[in-house]
Amino acid sequence: MALKLYDYSLSGSCYKVRLLLAFLKLDYAREQVDFYPGRAHKSLDFLELNPLGQIPVLEDGDLRLRDAQAILCYLADKYDKSGQWLPRDPDLFGTVMMWLMFAGGEIMAASAARLHDSLGYDLDIAAARQKAHAAFRILDDHLTLRAIESTRWIAGDHPTIADVACFPYVALSGDGGIGHEDYPALRNWMRAFRRLPRFHAMSGIPEFV
């Protein structure tokens, strides 16, 4: 087994993969990508690895994958024999997929706001924050309902890759000027997530959420 992650410490998308690798106790090699200021993810060399010019990229032997959500699915499918992180029960599987798409879609507005505030990306910051708040509202409502149903996780009664995919950009949103004040269910969920065995934080994740 030779897992290699093309990684950037400040990337929330790479962090999704690092988290699951830790949860699954998998060893891997890191190839650091000079995302900023070097923009190495747009270099010709990197575009050969991923024509979309995005991180993360994971290599497992001869297999090369892009897209954090796809990588989470792959790692859970191959390496989590318990089936906890990627449930095979059809209802749960569908629910996990739905929230994975949400993590790679709507929640990424919070990533855009963070890139604007931290790394000076030129984009419509008001629109990014508004979209992120709308996404957070939806996830907060969902987690409120889940709490009424006596569970703290996005799907089922244990953490799944849906939680892993949604956590980083929700937790990092303060970096983009998006506070958690209006989202009590998100705060409870983030506290529970932080207590998972082998959880590790990254820069910008507040110690107390």
Partner 1 sequence: MAITTDPVAINHWIACGWPGKVPVGGYWDTVLLGQNIRVSRPQPDIYEAAILTAGALGRRLPVQSRFCCIFTTLGQDPRPLPQIDEFDEPDRRLINCGSVGVNTSPYRMIENFLDMAHFPFVHTNILGAEKKTEVVSHKIEHRKDVDEIWATDCRFFQPAASKAATGGQMTDYTYRVMSPFSIMLYKNVHNDPGRNDAICMFVQPKGEAQCLAYMPMALVDDVNTTAAIIDFQQTIFLQDRVILENQRPALMPLAPAAEIPTKADVGSVTFRRWLKQMGISFGIYEKAAA
What gap in Å lies between CA 146 and CA 155, rounded to an integer? 8
Report the nearest approach of partner 1 to the CB of residue 145 (Å): 30
Strand partners, 64: 59
**Of 100 and 115, which has the nearer Cβ to partner 1?**
115
| By the rule CB under 8 A, 117 interacts with partner 1 | yes
Question: Which bin fits 30, alpha (ψ -120 to 50), beta or left (φ > 0)?
Answer: beta
Does the protein bind partner 1 through residue 53 (CB under 8 A)? no
Nearer to partner 1, 98 or 199 (CB): 199
Among 61, 120, 149, 195, binds partner 1 (CB under 8 A): 120
59 - beta bridge partners? 4, 64
Please report whether residue 203 would count as binding partner 1 according to CB under 8 A: yes
Q: Which CB, 26 or 202, lies closer to partner 1?
A: 202
Q: Is 36 in the site for partner 1 (CB under 8 A)?
A: yes
Question: Half-sphere exposure of residue 7, counting CA atoms within 13 Å on the CB side?
Answer: 18
In 2-107, alpha helices (H) = 12-23, 44-49, 68-79, 90-104
Least Å from the CB of residue 73 to partner 1: 26
Give how far Cα 109 sits from Cα of 5, 156, 189, Å.
24, 26, 20
Choice between 38 and 184, CB closer to partner 1: 38
How far apart are the C-alpha atoms of 163 and 157, rounded to whole Å?
12
- With CB under 8 A as the contact rule, the residue among 2, 70, 119, 145 that binds partner 1 is 119
Residue ranges binding partner 1 (CB under 8 A)? 8-10, 32-34, 36-40, 117-120, 174-175, 177, 202-206
